Amino acid sequence: MPAQLDPGATDPQRIRNFCIIAHIDHGKSTLADRMLQLTGVVEERQMRAQYLDRMDIERERGITIKSQAVRLPWTVREGDLAGESYVLNMIDTPGHVDFSYEVSRSLAACEGAILLVDAAQGIEAQTLANLYLALENDLHIIPVLNKIDLPAAQPDKYAEELAHLIGGKPEECLRVSGKTGSGVAELLDEIVRQFQPPSGDPAAPPRALIFDSVYDIYRGVVTYVRMMDGRIEARDRLTMMSTGATHELLELGVISPEPTKSPALGVGEVGYLITGVKDVRQSKVGDTVTALHRPADEPLGGYSDPKPMVYSGLYPIDGSDYPDLRDALDKLKLNDAALVYEPETSAALGFGFRCGFLGLLHLEIIRERLEREFNLDLISTAPNVVYRVELEDNTEHVVTNPSEYPTGKVASVYEPVVRATVLTPNDFVGAVMEICQSRRGKLLGMDYLSADRVELRYTLPLAEIIFDFFDQLKSRTRGYASLDYEPSGEQAADLVKVDILLHGEPVDAFSAIVHKDKAYAYGVQLTTKLRKLIPRQQFEVPIQAAIGTKIIARENIRAMRKDVLAKCYGGDITRKRKLLEKQKEGKKRMKMVGRVEVPQEAFIAALSTSDAPEQPKK
């Protein structure tokens, strides 16, 4: 490679920074694979599918959760620039709506974006959402149709759709197959031609935007930056502009796709920095890094922290694992700014944490990582959104845990709402509207993206869409509809807190805040479920659902009348003793709610997110 393309010595005119954005599963990571191969940074024999999805959980689920940046050398093959060499910094991004903040972070480090569209699916909701994000960041867009190898691909039809959406002509839309590699070299040439080189001032004091910060047990905190101005040299001392804290620079380099040390990072380049810091909070995403001895005056515009959208209580099944859970959360937090948590106690579940997540997938992934990587057995309470409650005494309460709903006279309750975009084929518009209406949606608008693809925009309460909305949407539209949403403030609503009482004692873990019209259904659902899950006790146990002091649903667990083995011969004694010893062990795993013994399993089953405080299907 020509020396003028070495890290730290690259002419910004020869750099192109871009990301690949798309709806989930449209093939970003697979296209990235072909780029890794064509540019020669990954050898044939080291190649594996979705090379950049490195986390176990990404590989198992086949989805990207974290963005990944890679430096690729590319010599243009065709046209007037043929033979010229460039450096491409490519960022593969996640497609799932829960991780759209990862996309925003990546966009800020780029001048261009490849908008990838599955040629068998066409434009979907996150195609739009990510396109709009890119446009807000003033990025140049190259529309690309992927998976053209598929027999079901309709590239002409979707090129038309894309042209309609972005402007330009259908022929300008590139066609590739991430699977076969067809069209990828042309795409790389096009990236060089169409995207602008970075425009920072090479002579100015250095300013580097932190777009990711990852804790690694071997190397400590690794900070990923995009150099906006100036350069950082290996022997520099660095200053974090938000705090003024200075750090020794232990190592810097580029990812290609393994970390490779370099003497410096110059303007426009993307690379990593390792300082001695042990905590990613000292090297915060969105912060600007400068050099102690050539400090910049103004920080770059950063990012706002992602706000948790749903909360859930996480409790260790074995109470003595609580300190381990805390340590594990601290560790995960290092790589995941979106995860927030605070200790909380539940009368029913003991000591745990109230955790905030970006969505249910995020919750699921954190929970799974805690269980697998840290060997914890956890119960998670039914997820809920955040409510704001104003009382008549003019005090205001932010409720992240339904059991902490204030007890005074409520003046009004506010719930978060989202602006949701649903893309659906024409035929299913009726079905989509029905679902949205049954979930208190307000139609904002409707557009035809093409003759048979409709975009519906709704305001919907967040609480109504985080649970099974998506599944229902998919099943009612035979899988064709897609959904995207973004927070859009709050609204006052007729919300009530439903408590579940066991033998007269409220069980905090089951309290839920629901819309008045759905309170009864929730009460019935949970009381019935609990009746089946809680074993009979020596006395009758009423299970009630209540709003305040008003009982809205009731079930009864009849008293257990017989608990004795009839036969006890000589040969039964050992068996019976062992059974008793086992029952005694089982008793230790019982949680007491007042006088009622509730097996751990009953809590787990009643709280299982699959059908947690789900509202009735109408």
Partner 1 sequence: MPSALPDGEAVPSDGALPDTALTSVGAHGFGVYVHVPFCASRCGYCDFNTYTATELPGVDRSSYPDLVVAELALAARVLGGTAPPVRTVFFGGGTPTLLPPDDLARILDGIADTFGLEPDAEVTTEANPESVSPASLRALRRAGFTRISLGMQSAVGHVLALLDRKHTPGRATVAAAEAAEAGFDHVNLDLIYGTPGESADDWAASLDTVLGSVAAGAADHVSAYSLIVEDGTRLAGRIRRGELPMPSDDTAADRYLAAEERLTAAGLSWYEVSNWAADEAARCRHNLLYWSGGDWWGLGPGAHSHVGGVRWWNVKHPSRYAERLATGSPGAGREILTADERHTEDVLLRTRLSSGLPLDVLDDAGRASADRAVLAGLLDPTAVAAGRAVLTLRGRLLADAVVRDLLG
Ligand X SMILES: Nc1nc2c(ncn2[C@@H]2O[C@H](COP(=O)(O)OP(=O)(O)OP(=O)(O)O)[C@@H](O)[C@H]2O)c(=O)[nH]1
> Binding-site residues for GTP, please?
25-30, 146-149
| Segment near ligand X (CB under 6 A); pick from 56-64, 230-238, 247-255, 556-564 | 56-64
In the region spanning residues 561 to 580, those forming contacts with ligand SAM, defined by CB under 6 A, are 566-567
CB 192 within 8 A of CB 83: no
Q: How far apart are CA 161 and CA 170, in angstroms?
A: 8
Q: Which stretch binds Mg ion (CB under 5 A): 62-70, 261-269, 360-368, 462-470?
A: 62-70
d(Cα 110, Cα 375) in Å, to the nearest integer? 38
**Residue number, 8 or 95, with CB nearest to ligand X:** 95
| Binding to ligand X, residues 334-393 (CB under 6 A) | none
**Residue whose CB is less far from ligand SAM, 83 or 571:** 571
Q: Which listed option, ligand SAM, ligand X, partner 1, none, makes contact with residue 152 (CB within 5 to 8 Å by class)?
A: none
Q: Which is nearer to partner 1, 367 or 591 (CB)?
A: 591
94 makes contact with ligand X (CB under 6 A): yes
Question: Which H or E run contains 36?
Answer: helix 28-38
DSSP-derived letter for residue 547 is E
- Closest separation in Å from C-beta 531 to Mg ion: 44
The whole-angstrom separation of Cα 439 and Cα 466 is 11
Does 106 contact ligand X by CB under 6 A? no
Which range of residues in 61-69, 398-406, 459-467, 582-590 is near ligand X by CB under 6 A?
61-69
**Residue 509 DSSP one-character state:** G
Rg (CA), the chain: 28
Question: Is 527 one of the binding residues for Mg ion (CB under 5 A)?
Answer: no
In the structure encoding, which two tokens stand for residue 164, read together? 């309609």
Task: Please tell me whether residue 486 binds ligand X under the rule CB under 6 A.
Answer: no
* DSSP string computed for 392-448: TTS-EEEESSGGG---S-EEEEEEEEEEEEEEEEGGGHHHHHHHHHHTT-EEEEEEE
AA letter at 156: D
Exposure of 247 in the CB half-sphere (CA atoms within 13 A)? 23
- Shortest distance, position 68 Cβ to Mg ion, whole Å: 9
218 binds, among partner 1, ligand SAM, ligand X, none (CB under 5 to 8 A by kind): none
How far apart CA 114 and CA 153 sit, in angstroms, is: 19
Min. distance of Cβ 567 from partner 1 in angstroms? 6
Instruction: Determine contact, residues 103/21, Cβ cutoff 8 Å.
Output: yes
- In the complex, least distance from residue 578 CB atom to partner 1, rounded to whole angstroms: 6
d(CA 71, CA 66): 17
Q: What is the DSSP string of 239-294?
A: EETTT--EEEEEEEEEESSSEEE-SEE-TT-EEEEEES-S-GGGS-TT-EEEETTB
Q: Which is nearer to partner 1, 521 or 593 (CB)?
A: 593
DSSP assignment, residue 125? H
Residues in the chain: 618
Site string for Mg ion, 19-38 (x = CB under 5 A): ---------xx---------
Task: Show binding-site residues.
Answer: 25-30, 146-149
49: which residues sit within 8 A by CB, 6+ positions away? Answer: 30, 33
Minimum distance from CB of 40 to ligand X (Å)?
A: 20
- Tokens at 307, concatenated: 């706000």
How many of the chain's residues bind partner 1 (CB under 8 A)? 25
Sign of CA dihedral 230, 232, 237, 239: positive
Q: Contact 1/73 with Cβ under 8 angstroms?
A: yes
Of 235-264, which residues contact ligand X (CB under 6 A)? none
**For residue 73, what are the β-bridge partners?**
87
Among 59-67, 293-301, 476-484, 519-527, which window interacts with ligand X (CB under 6 A)? 59-67
Q: Name which of 24 and 273 has its Cβ closer to Mg ion.
A: 24
Residue 117 vs 340, nearer CB to ligand X: 117
- Measured from the CB atom, is 151 or 570 closer to partner 1? 570
Instruction: Establish if 152 lies at the interface with partner 1 (CB under 8 A).
Output: no
Nearer to ligand SAM, 445 or 570 (CB): 570
Minimum distance, C-beta of residue 42 to ligand X, in the bound complex (Å): 15
Q: Is 63 in the site for ligand X (CB under 6 A)?
A: yes
126 or 283: whose CB is closer to Mg ion?
Answer: 126
Exactly one of 147, 226, 362, 369 binds ligand X (CB under 6 A); that residue is 147
The 3 state secondary structure assigned to 549-614 is CEEEEEEEECCCCCCCCCCCCCCHHHHHHHHHHHHHHHHHCEEEECCEEEEHHHHHHHHCHHHCCC
State the minimum distance, in angstroms, from the CB of residue 223 to Mg ion.
23
* Side-chain half-sphere exposure of 430, counting CA atoms within 13 A: 1
Which parts of 546-585 interact with partner 1 (CB under 8 A)?
Answer: 558, 560-571, 573-578, 580-581, 583-584
64 lies in the site for Mg ion, by CB under 5 A: yes
Cα–Cα distance list, 199 to 196, 202, 226 (Å):
8, 9, 12
From the list partner 1, Mg ion, ligand SAM, none, pick the one residue 563 interacts with, judged by a Cβ distance below 5 to 8 Å according to partner type.
partner 1
List the single partner that 576 binds among ligand SAM, Mg ion, partner 1, none, CB under 5 to 8 Å by kind.
partner 1
Residue 246 phi, psi (nearest 5): -110, 150
Under the binding rule (CB under 6 A), the answer on residue 29 touching ligand X is: yes
Residue with tokens 């840290």: 374
CB of 543 to partner 1, least distance (A): 19
Site for partner 1 in 494-553 (CB under 8 A): 538
Helix 100-107 to helix 125-136 angle (10° resolution) is 30
Of the two residues 151 and 571, which places its CB atom closer to ligand SAM in the complex?
Answer: 571
Q: Under rule CB under 6 A, which residues in 171-200 are in contact with ligand X?
A: 177-179
Residue 294 binds which entry of ligand X, Mg ion, ligand SAM, none, with Cβ cut-offs from 5 to 8 Å by kind? none
Binding site for ligand X (CB under 6 A): 22, 24-30, 50, 62-64, 94-95, 146-147, 149-150, 177-179
**What residues line the site for partner 1 (CB under 8 A)?**
538, 558, 560-571, 573-578, 580-581, 583-584, 587
In the complex, the residues that contact Mg ion under the rule CB under 5 A are 28-29, 64
Q: Which residues are at the interface with ligand SAM (CB under 6 A)?
A: 566-567
